[in-house]
A = this chain, B = another copy of it.
Amino acid sequence: MAQVSDKRLLRALRGEVLDRPPIWLMRQAGRYLPEYRETRAKAKGFLDLCYSPNLAAEVTHQPLRRFAFDAAILFADILLVPDALGQGVAFKEGEGPVLGAITDEAGLTALSLANVEAHLAPVFETVAKLSATLPNDVALIGFAGSPWTVATYMVGGRGSPDQRAARVWAYRDPDGFAKLIDLVTEATVLYLQQQIDAGAEVIQLFDSWAAQLPDHEFDCWVIAPTAKIVAGLNESHPDVPIIGFPRGAGAAGVRYAAETGVTAIGLDTGTPIAWARENLQNRLPVQGNLDPLTLVAGGTALEGEARRILTGFGNGPHIFNLGHGIVPETPPENVARLVDIVTSWKNS
């Protein structure tokens, strides 16, 4: 019989209301830390860092040496999946990711599931290393991008403010675009199953570009593929909780929570607390949603916003996090201050 873990993150994900919420931060390992920049400089490039188990495990550990986080998240990137599918991904300094854009069904012939698991083996090795070395009370989170968000990069060839290329393809040729989404969905299930086999205790699905999609598009490209991934993982690994993060979904988050089967939902910075309490937290644990820019500003803004969130979500299952990733200009001392505020909090 599996032992039920008493790690704080896992308890919150089981729906427990704790004396204080667990805390971890999106991009807690990253450029705002000088030790990250030092390790990053040892790799040949960003992808090499992701594919080097020793270095990737090291940067995952770094924030935990400074801050009393309740979880570590695997250091990797959502674009490893297209890379493993054979698309070819490059990270150019100061430019972000660049991919050879796939803009129609014919372009899919260049992609294949055959090498996904072999290609991603170093990531699983990183997970195994982390599983063996993390402190006992720290939960290990694996992750992937959600198919829609990953597809926006695969089709656009890079990040874009409105994901125009993917959206226009999806409107013009929904059947062809669905083949791309299906392929990414299948690869993502394989990828996450192996992360769990290697030791990941929780999965987060990042749908960073879920905003501004009309109902039908949101149903087809965000909800349906997420539901498929959740079903696939539930079948192979029924005990592993899944946090879905449909950034910018707004009121559509209610449909997402009800229809995807995720264990918990991540809330972005703009999600009203009272609304989320009444429409989401009454059904499932919520995660979020401090503005990462309060970590840049520090001071009373940081304290005020952190306490507003702690108070607002304190009577239900809650995981303290940001509403978006840490930005590089964040002073590490502000992260320390935040972790102090949250870990010394007592729900009344």
B293 touches A213 (CB 8 A): no
Q: Contact: A299 with B211, CB < 8 Å?
A: no
Residues of B within 8 A of A45 (CB): none
Report if A167-B250 is in contact (Cβ < 8 Å); known contacts: A212-B268, A270-B212, A324-B212.
Answer: no
* Alpha-carbon distance between A215 and B276 when the two chains are bound, in angstroms: 11
CB neighbours (8 Å) of A301 from chain B are: 171-172, 174
Is the Cβ of B255 less than 8 Å from the Cβ of A305?
A: no
A291 within 8 A of partner (CB) = yes
User: In the complex, which of the residues A275, A276, A323 has the most CB atoms of chain B within 10 Å of its own CB atom?
Assistant: A275
Q: Select which of B215, B271, B304, B324 is within 8 A of A273 by beta carbon.
A: B215
**Interface status of A238 (Cβ within 8 A of chain B):** no
| Given A293-B167, A301-B172, A252 and B269 contact (CB-CB distance below 8 Å) | no
Interchain CB contact under 8 A, B308 and A172: no
From residue 281 to 332 of chain A, which have CB atoms closer than 8 A to chain B?
Answer: 289, 291, 293-294, 296-297, 299, 301-302, 304-305, 308, 323-324, 327
Instruction: Give the interface size bracket for A toward B.
Output: 35 or more
Interface pair B249/A308, CB less than 8 Å apart: no
Indicate whether A272 sits within 8 Å of B248 (C-beta atoms), given known contacts A161-B161, A171-B297, A296-B168. Answer: no
Q: How far is the CB of A288 from chain B (nearest CB, A)?
A: 10
Q: Chain B contacts of A305 at CB under 8 A?
A: 214, 216
A248 to B268, CA, bound (A): 12
How far apart are A300's CB and chain B's nearest CB, in angstroms?
Answer: 9
Partner of A275, one of B217, B248, B251, B296: B251
Interface residues of A (CB under 8 A from B): 161-162, 164, 167-168, 171-172, 174, 211-218, 248-252, 254-255, 268-276, 279, 289, 291, 293-294, 296-297, 299, 301-302, 304-305, 308, 323-324, 327
A-B contact pairs, 26 of them (CB 8 A): A162-B293, A162-B324, A164-B296, A167-B293, A168-B293, A171-B297, A174-B301, A211-B211, A211-B248, A211-B270, A212-B268, A212-B269, A212-B270, A214-B308, A217-B291, A218-B270, A248-B250, A249-B250, A250-B250, A250-B270, A250-B271, A250-B272, A251-B271, A251-B276, A252-B272, A252-B275
- Beyond contacts A171-B302, A252-B272: 14 other A-B pairs, Cβ-Cβ < 8 A, are A161-B161, A162-B293, A164-B293, A164-B296, A211-B270, A212-B323, A214-B289, A214-B305, A215-B274, A216-B304, A248-B248, A248-B270, A250-B270, A255-B272
